[in-house]
Structure formats: C-alpha cells, structure tokens
Amino acid sequence: MDTRTRWIVGVLIVLVIGLGIALIIVAADDSNDSDGSGTTSGTATRTSPQPTTTSSPTTTSSTTTAPSNGGSGVPGGTTSGPNGEGGL
C-alpha cells in the first residue's frame, strides 16, 4: 500500500472508532439530568378550537384612476412617493 491509502484507511478507522464511542455514550445515557434543561414534566393537554360565527360577506366597489405619469393604477390602494416613484 502506498502512503495515501494508509492515511485514508487510518482516517476511516478513527472515524469508525469515534462513531462507536459516540453510540456507546448515547446508548448509555439514562436521561436523568439534574438541571432539567431540555426536559418537561406533566402531561400535555389539547384544547379543541372554539366555534366561530360567520356573517355574509359585504361587497364594496372601488375605482382606481390612472396616475398622471402614464400606466394604469394598481389595485389595493398603493401609494407613490415623490415624483411618482416607489409605492410597492
């Protein structure tokens, strides 16, 4: 084997050993942390949504006029800044 292959095999072996140790640590953790961070106590409760009342929609009509600098207006009542620029 050349030197490059030995380095690659060595790095892979170190990674496998590191992952094995990490797995052992995670599997051995009994989650009895004394500080309580990341844990919750009690039971979760779920509330049902409250009924809502609906009313018939009201229809309004609006007209938009074309700006004096050309083009057509944009629905929704956009405003323009000085010199007719911006607004969106």
More confident: 77 or 31: 31
- Residues near 69 by beta carbon (within 8 Å), at least 6 away in sequence: 84
Classified as helix, coil or strand, 42 is coil
CB distance 72 to 66 below 8 Å? yes
pLDDT band at 19 (very low <50, low <70, confident <90, very high): very high
Q: What confidence category does residue 36 fall into, taking pLDDT thresholds of 50, 70 and 90?
A: low
What mean pLDDT, rounded, does the chain reach? Answer: 76
pLDDT at 40: 61
More confident residue, 27 or 53: 27
